[in-house]
């Protein structure tokens, strides 16, 4: 892995915003005193008149974006996942989700890989919160290429979108020809004994897990599920049919996230055993991203172990 | 204000009040108290102030109104209906299954409603967004929003006010219906928000304090709003909750209760007397 390029998807977000800003003059960016961390600072540098700092007031910021969208602007609103999806949940639900406004909520610092800041900033509930809002599209890119395409796809989609970007640098594995589509999963590796369905920065860990499994003659299919909602039912049902066992992997609580979405679909349409890997009803704590991911079992070794435990 | 013009607004206000009591009576629920206190504001806003066209409610460059105190939808609906946005008869469908007149305003269902509201403290933020967007786009659009004085307990109101002042939103007109009552009692007892003039002034607004049930005072306040530059305007409307229906006036119990059949008849007869009195004035 030493020669693989690593980029944090929050950096991809900032860079993609600049590209989008060049072709779409109705794009505006709102921040809550975190432009340096959410990486919207590069957009601000390029388009200072189209970047609005709202100060440390996320609830107001979400609703300001809602108001702006009614005049034809396409606001990208940024903060940490904890505050965009958590603190401002009700604003998102009532004033973006309910009127179905064309606002893109782009949160960085999702999951425990936030690291040293500790549990107060490690949001492992954002998928659950955002999924529960009718009509909300929920996206979770796995690398730089996908993250940049997701920014453009979110802009092209008319309606409310939540995107979670990560803080930690992660391997870039897609080539530039990759085409992201909202609602479509991606088979990264075929297999027939077990299917590992992962999202976000853990997708590359899932691929490593499949490599470990192959040394034990276990053939694992790996699916990158960058769209948490609407769920790609077809690719999941096909995996359940072909492999008979499913492992879900996410840097999120095992309550309410991708794992539960998949379990719920399979329970209703094609019941097969599912094992969910995620943050298991616990708060995180300070530590490096690598240490924490390992401690919480969000790593290739644990994924391969769980895949063998059916 | 010219007597004929005032008479027109007073008659408009009577119609709005009739709509409020009739629609909440038909719905058997809803919020008449705060709708009645804000009636002169509604009548003036839609009778004289706001640049909107009921025949083209989505016109791109129209002014905007956000009812931040969304529970007073009966007042807004009665105003919009009597201003020609939709049939007055439809007010009787308020809160009923399948109606486009939801308990709280829905911008995607009701002609003339510019923002879905109901969760307190949020409407003013959306109004800030509209006002900022209008400035960014170089459009001559004024944005009006109405809050309740109980609503000021929401911290978000002050986040929004700070934003409005920071971005010098002089196209934003914040009105607060200071009727002094909220669900649990007097606002001064539940959570005292006084002194409001000092608060809004400290937050960077041009503050105007008036009798909110007086059309002449409203006219002057809006004139001041238009003459104010580089800061938002906050109009504190001192009003009487339940105004215009004797048994509802200053009664906290009429915040969120519908009149029954006999109460409706009494309210309508009082409003009819008010209409006659207005018409008698030469």
Confidence of residue A38 (pLDDT cuts 50, 70, 90): confident
Q: Is A145 helix (H, G, I), strand (E, B) or coil?
A: helix
Q: What is the mean pLDDT of residues A243-261?
A: 98
Closest Cα of chain B to A73: distance in Å?
7
> In the predicted model, is pLDDT for residue B30 greater than 50?
yes
Inter-residue contact A144 to A11 (CB < 8 Å): yes
pTM: 0.97
Q: Name A7's bridge partners.
A: A170
**Contact residues, chain A, for B162 at CB < 8 Å:** 55, 57
CB pairs under 8 A between A and B: 108
- Mean pLDDT across chain A: 96
> In the predicted model, is pLDDT for residue B162 greater than 90?
yes
Closest Cα of chain B to A95: distance in Å?
7
**Contact residues, chain A, for B116 at CB < 8 Å:** 94-95, 98-99
Q: CA A292, CA A287: separation in Å to the nearest integer?
A: 6
Q: What is the mean pLDDT of residues A205-231?
A: 98
pLDDT tens sequence across B269-279: 999 999 999 99
pLDDT for A2 equals 53
Strand residues in chain B grouped as ranges (E): 64-67, 143-148, 172-178, 181-182, 185-186, 206-211, 233-238
Report the percentage of chain B scoring pLDDT > 70.
Answer: 100
Q: What is the mean pLDDT of residues A103-126?
A: 95
Closest Cα of chain A to B136: distance in Å?
8
| Domain A6-171: CATH superfamily, name plus number | Thiamin diphosphate (ThDP)-binding fold, Pyr/PP domains (3.40.50.970)
Inter-residue contact B66 to B124 (CB < 8 Å): yes
CB contact under 8 A, A64 and B128: yes
pLDDT tens sequence across B47-86: 999 999 999 999 999 999 999 999 999 999 999 999 999 9
Q: Where are the domains of chain B?
A: 3-280
> In the predicted model, is pLDDT for residue B246 greater than 70?
yes
**Contact residues, chain A, for B141 at CB < 8 Å:** 71
pLDDT for A79 equals 95
Confidence of residue A168 (pLDDT cuts 50, 70, 90): confident
> In the predicted model, is pLDDT for residue A177 greater than 70?
yes
Confidence of residue A1 (pLDDT cuts 50, 70, 90): very low
CB contact under 8 A, B129 and A67: yes
Inter-residue contact A81 to A108 (CB < 8 Å): yes
Report the percentage of chain A scoring pLDDT > 70.
Answer: 99
Q: CA B23, CA B18: separation in Å to the nearest integer?
A: 8
Cβ-based burial of B259 (10 A; exposed 0-12, middle 13-18, buried ≥19): buried
> In the predicted model, is pLDDT for residue A226 greater than 70?
yes
Q: What is the mean pLDDT of residues B245-251?
A: 97
**Contact residues, chain A, for B137 at CB < 8 Å:** 71-73
CB contact under 8 A, A60 and B160: yes
Q: Where are the domains of chain A?
A: 6-171, 186-307
Confidence of residue A35 (pLDDT cuts 50, 70, 90): confident
Residue of chain B nearest A91, judged by CA positions: B122
pLDDT tens sequence across A179-196: 999 999 999 999 999 999
> In the predicted model, is pLDDT for residue B45 greater than 80?
yes
Residue of chain A nearest B166, judged by CA positions: A54
Q: CA B135, CA B164: separation in Å to the nearest integer?
A: 12
For residue B282, what are the contacts with CB-CB under 8 A and spacing of at least 6? none
Which strand (E) or helix (H) includes residue A7? Answer: strand A6-8
- Give the active site residues of A: 58
Q: What angle do CA A252, A254, A257 make, to 5 degrees?
A: 65
Q: What is the mean pLDDT of residues B153-180?
A: 98
May I ask the CATH class of domain A186-307? alpha beta
Architecture of domain B3-280: 3-Layer(aba) Sandwich (3.40)
pLDDT for A184 equals 98
Domains A6-171 and A186-307 share a fold: yes
| Nearest CB to B133 within list A71, A98, A99 | A71
> In the predicted model, is pLDDT for residue B19 greater than 50?
yes
Cα atoms found within 13 Å of the Cα of residue A159, Cβ hemisphere only: 11
Q: Is B189 helix (H, G, I), strand (E, B) or coil?
A: helix
pLDDT tens sequence across A64-81: 999 999 999 999 999 999
């Amino acid at each position: 892995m030493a020669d693989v390029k690593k980029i944090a998807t929050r950096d991809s977000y900032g860079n993609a915003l600049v590209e989008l800003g060049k072709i779409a003059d109705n794009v505006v960016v709102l921040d809550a005193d975190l432009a340096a961390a959410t990486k919207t600072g590069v957009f601000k540098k390029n388009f200072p008149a189209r970047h609005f700092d709202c100060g440390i007031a996320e609830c107001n910021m979400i609703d300001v974006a809602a108001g702006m969208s009614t005049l034809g602007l396409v606001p990208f609103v940024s903060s940490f996942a904890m505050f965009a999806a958590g603190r401002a949940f009700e604003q998102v639900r009532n004033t973006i989700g309910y009127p179905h406004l064309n606002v893109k909520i782009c949160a960085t610092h999702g999951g425990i890989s936030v690291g040293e800041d500790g549990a107060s900033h490690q949001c492992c509930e954002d998928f659950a919160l955002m999924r529960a809002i009718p009509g909300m599209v929920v996206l979770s890119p796995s690398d730089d290429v996908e993250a940049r395409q997701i920014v453009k796809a979110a802009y092209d989609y008319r309606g409310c979108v939540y995107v979670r970007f990560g803080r930690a640098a992660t391997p870039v594995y897609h080539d530039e020809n990759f085409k992201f589509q909202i609602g479509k999963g991606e088979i990264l590796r075929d297999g027939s004994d077990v299917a590992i369905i992962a999202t976000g920065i853990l997708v590359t860990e899932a691929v490593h897990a499949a490599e470990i499994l192959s040394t034990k003659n276990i053939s694992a299919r790996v699916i990158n599920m960058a769209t948490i909602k609407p769920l790609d039912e077809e690719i999941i049902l096909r995996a359940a049919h072909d492999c008979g066992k499913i492992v879900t992997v996410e840097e999120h609580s095992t309550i309410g996230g991708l794992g539960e979405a998949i379990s719920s679909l399979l329970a209703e349409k094609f019941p097969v055993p599912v094992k969910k890997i995620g943050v298991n009803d616990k708060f995180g704590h300070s530590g490096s991203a690598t240490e924490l991911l390992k401690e919480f079992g969000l790593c290739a070794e644990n994924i391969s172990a769980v895949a063998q435990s059916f | 204000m010219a007597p004929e013009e005032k008479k027109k607004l007073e008659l408009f206000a009577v119609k709005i009040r009739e709509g409020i009591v009739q629609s909440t009576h038909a719905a058997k629920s809803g919020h008449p108290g705060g709708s009645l206190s804000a009636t002169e504001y509604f009548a003036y806003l839609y009778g004289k102030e706001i640049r909107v066209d009921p025949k083209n409610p989505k016109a791109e460059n129209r002014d905007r109104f956000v009812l931040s105190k969304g529970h007073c939808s009966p007042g807004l609906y009665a105003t919009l209906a009597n201003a020609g946005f939709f049939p007055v008869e439809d007010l009787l469908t308020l809160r009923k299954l399948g109606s486009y007149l939801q308990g709280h305003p829905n911008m995607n269902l009701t002609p003339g409603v510019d923002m879905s509201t109901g969760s307190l403290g949020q409407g003013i933020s959306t109004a800030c967004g509209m006002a900022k967007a209008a400035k960014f786009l170089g459009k001559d659009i004024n944005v009006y929003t109405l809050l309740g004085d109980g609503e000021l307990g929401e911290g978000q109101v002050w986040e929004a006010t700070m934003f409005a002042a920071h971005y010098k939103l002089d196209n934003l007109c914040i009105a607060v219906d200071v009727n002094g009552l909220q669900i649990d009692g007097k606002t001064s007892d539940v959570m005292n928000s006084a002194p409001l003039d000092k608060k809004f002034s400290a937050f960077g607004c041009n503050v105007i304090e008036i009798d909110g049930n007086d059309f002449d005072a409203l006219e002057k306040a809006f004139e001041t709003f238009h003459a104010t530059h580089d800061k938002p305007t906050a109009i504190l409307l001192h009003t009487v909750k339940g105004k215009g229906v004797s048994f509802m006036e200053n009664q906290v119990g009429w915040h969120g209760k519908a009149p029954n059949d006999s109460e409706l008849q009494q309210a309508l007869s009082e409003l009819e007397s008010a209409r006659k009195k207005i018409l008698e004035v030469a």
